[in-house]
């Protein structure tokens, strides 16, 4: 196990590139199950979650090879339809494989998924949607066993625009008989990317990015070469890192439109922002105005995955701020760690009340989950003195070599083994 040691107070300056989006890559990897020809995926980052998803594909009999940042995947000889608990517990996206397995093999047995501990994270919408399409489902002994031999296109109405349920149902309908319409779908950019990837293999999907998606079933898919979109949450995290340290950086290889809900707020708080088609420049003068009120919402609303980082910025901004977390029940678990660093925060249920202080102070803190963990890195970059962050395996799930990347911008951050 590793830890980060950060000496705070350095302004970040320079250029930084954003990796491909973990949350686009993971459903796309599940989508490779659908195709019997070779698929080439470019710009594959070394996220732990992607490594785990590749292990799941291998378990299903799929050939997965990585050469530098390119993945070569061939599911021609896939012959298993069971995802065991020891693999499923590592990441929530293991559950995406369900839709793809049902589409191709008409049966699947999948263990309940794991992932970040940020709330209840039920799967009822996935299950209800599949049942609406004629899939027979039995839940017992920690497994969901599905028979899709009578599955055919139909209309599914999601009670909530769940990202995962939208993606799972899209994949389940790709090779199914007839046309499927999913209503009240999530509109996240990663869903548009999944549609583009599946269509590049010959799927017939329309409407991703709106609240109605239509999938016309096809007989088979063909080979493709695809590059998933850049990670909007990583790009947003870099912007906040700069905002908190009072520096100036150019964030390259990103789609600024995907995180304009954050950049607009940063601009209103006093940052200078210049947006280009594939990069964004930010300059921060130091202590900013607070954002006042923020509530997390499905896209294009403010992303829950940037809530922890934004809350951390509010702890050193001028004035008071209220943050309402509407998606996940326990996404304020990192707050006690920030309080150890001198932040003034009170949490009541799903709402955090933050009173900005002038400075945070370095402390010994523990990452509790992926985004809450990276929020502590941001706090450490700003804080006076040393910050040690333990349990950084959480952060490694969604940020590759974060210490090297931030060091290139001038940050003083090192990774050390816990044994040192
Ligand atoms: C995805 C992202 C995650 C992000 C989240 C919201 C991936 C791999 N993960 O997670 O990083 O934080 O979108 O943008 O893409 N819900 C139900 N029943 C269900 C499914 C979801 O009630 O069957 C609820 C959840 O508890 C939550 C809300 O719907 O309150 C949103 O969840 P969802 O959009 O499904 O998130 P994930 O796909 O798990």
DSSP 120-186: ----HHHHHHHHHTT-EEEEETTEEEEE-TT-B--EEE-SS--HHHHHHHHHHHTTSBSEEEEES--
232 lines ligand 1 (CB under 6 A): no
92 lines ligand 1 (CB under 6 A): yes
- 349 CA to centre of ligand 1 in angstroms: 19
Residue of 97, 113, 164 best suited for mutating to test ligand 1, as the one with most atoms within 8 Å of CB: 164
- 121 CA to centre of ligand 1 in angstroms: 7
pLDDT at 115: 59
pLDDT at 68: 94
325 lines ligand 1 (CB under 6 A): no
The Cα–Cα gap between 200 and 289 comes to: 45
pLDDT at 142: 83
371 lines ligand 1 (CB under 6 A): no
Q: Which whole-number Å values give the CA distances from 207 to 95, 230, 301, in the listed order?
A: 23, 21, 19
Is there a contact between 123 and 110 (Cβ–Cβ < 8 Å)? Answer: no
234 lines ligand 1 (CB under 6 A): no
162 lines ligand 1 (CB under 6 A): yes
259 lines ligand 1 (CB under 6 A): no
Between vectors from CA 180 to CA 175 and to CA 182, what angle results, nearest 5°?
125
331 lines ligand 1 (CB under 6 A): no
Residue of 163, 186, 211, 399 best suited for mutating to test ligand 1, as the one with most atoms within 8 Å of CB: 163
The rounded Cα 24 to chain-centroid distance in angstroms is 8
164 lines ligand 1 (CB under 6 A): yes
Helices 48-59 and 22-31, packing angle to 10 deg: 10
The Cα–Cα gap between 252 and 266 comes to: 18
Is there a contact between 345 and 315 (Cβ–Cβ < 8 Å)? Answer: yes
DSSP summary character for residue 18: P
Nearest-atom number in ligand 1 for the CA of 161 is: 34
pLDDT at 362: 97
Nearest of 245, 402, 372 to residue 306 by alpha carbon: 372
For every one of its 420 residues, what pLDDT tens digit does the chain have, with 9 covering 90 and above? Answer: 899 999 999 999 999 999 999 999 999 999 999 999 999 999 999 988 899 999 999 999 999 999 999 999 999 999 999 998 888 887 777 888 999 999 999 999 998 876 556 555 788 999 999 999 999 999 888 889 999 999 999 999 999 999 999 999 999 999 999 999 999 999 999 999 999 999 999 999 999 999 999 999 999 999 999 999 999 999 999 999 999 999 999 999 999 999 999 999 999 999 999 999 999 999 998 789 999 999 999 999 999 999 999 999 999 999 999 999 999 988 999 999 999 999 999 999 999 999 999 999 999 999 999 999 999 999 999 999 999 999 999 999 899 999 999 999 999 999 999 987
Centre a 10 Å sphere on the Cβ of residue 67 and count the other Cβ atoms it contains. 9
- 372 CA to centre of ligand 1 in angstroms: 17
Q: Whose CA is nearest to atom 15 of ligand 1?
A: 23
What is the Cα gyration radius of the chain?
A: 22
Helices 124-132 and 163-173, packing angle to 10 deg: 30
Beta bridge partners of residue 107, listed in sequence order: 147
Domains in the chain, ordered, with CATH? 2-18+230-417 (3.65.10.10), 22-226 (3.65.10.10)
State yes or no: cis peptide before 25, omega within 30 of 0: no
146 lines ligand 1 (CB under 6 A): no
H/E stretch holding 273: strand 272-275
Q: Whose CA is nearest to atom 3 of ligand 1?
A: 305
- DSSP states of 211-229: SEEEEE--S----EEE-PP
pLDDT at 63: 97
Beta bridge partners of residue 85, listed in sequence order: none
Q: Whose CA is nearest to atom 26 of ligand 1?
A: 121
- 22 CA to centre of ligand 1 in angstroms: 14
Instruction: Catalogue the active-site residues.
Output: 116
- 217 CA to centre of ligand 1 in angstroms: 26
Residue of 47, 88, 129, 162 best suited for mutating to test ligand 1, as the one with most atoms within 8 Å of CB: 162
Pairing of strands 70-74, 63-67: antiparallel
Q: Whose CA is nearest to atom 25 of ligand 1?
A: 121
**Could you give phi then psi for residue 6, rounded to 5 degrees?**
-120, 135
pLDDT at 96: 84
């Amino acid at each position: 196990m590793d830890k980060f040691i950060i000496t705070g107070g350095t302004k970040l300056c320079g250029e930084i590139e954003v990796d491909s989006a973990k949350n686009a890559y993971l459903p796309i990897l599940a989508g490779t199950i659908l195709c019997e020809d070779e698929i080439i995926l470019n710009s594959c980052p070394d996220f732990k979650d992607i490594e785990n998803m590749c292990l799941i594909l291998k378990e299903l009999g799929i050939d997965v090879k990585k050469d530098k940042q390119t993945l070569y995947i061939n599911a021609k000889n896939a012959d298993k339809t069971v995802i065991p608990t020891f693999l499923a517990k590592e990441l929530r996206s293991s559950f995406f494989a369900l839709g793809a397995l049902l589409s191709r093999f008409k049966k699947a047995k999948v263990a309940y998924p794991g992932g970040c501990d940020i709330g209840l994270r039920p799967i009822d919408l996935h299950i209800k949607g599949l049942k609406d399409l004629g899939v027979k489902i039995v839940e017992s002994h920690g497994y969901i066993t599905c028979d899709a031999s009578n599955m055919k296109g139909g209309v599914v109405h999601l009670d909530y625009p769940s990202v995962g349920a939208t993606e799972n149902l899209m994949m389940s309908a790709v090779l199914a008989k007839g046309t499927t319409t999913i209503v009240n779908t999530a509109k996240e950019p990663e869903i548009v990317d999944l549609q583009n990837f599946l269509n590049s293999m010959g799927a017939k999907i329309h409407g991703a990015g709106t609240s109605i998606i239509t999938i016309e079933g096809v007989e088979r898919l063909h080979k493709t070469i695809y590059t998933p979109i850049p990670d909007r949450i990583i790009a947003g995290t870099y912007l906040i890192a700069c905002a908190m340290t009072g520096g100036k950086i150019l964030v390259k290889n990103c789609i600024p439109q995907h995180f304009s809900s954050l950049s607009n707020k940063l601009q209103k708080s006093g940052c200078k922002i210049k947006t280009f088609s594939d990069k964004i420049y930010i300059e921060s003068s130091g202590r900013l105005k607070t954002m006042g009120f923020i509530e997390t919402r499905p896209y294009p609303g403010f992303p829950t995955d940037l809530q922890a980082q934004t809350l951390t910025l509010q702890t050193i901004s001028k004035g008071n701020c209220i943050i309402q977390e509407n998606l996940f029940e326990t996404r304020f678990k990192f707050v006690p760690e920030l309080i150890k660093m001198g932040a003034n925060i009170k949490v009541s249920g799903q709402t955090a009340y933050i009173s900005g202080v002038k400075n945070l102070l370095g402390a010994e803190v523990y990452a509790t989950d992926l985004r809450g963990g990276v929020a502590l890195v941001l706090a450490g970059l700003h804080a006076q003195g040393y910050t040690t962050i333990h349990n950084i395996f959480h952060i490694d799930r969604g940020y590759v070599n974060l210490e090297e990347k931030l060091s290139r911008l001038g940050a003083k951050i090192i990774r050390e083994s816990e044994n040192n």
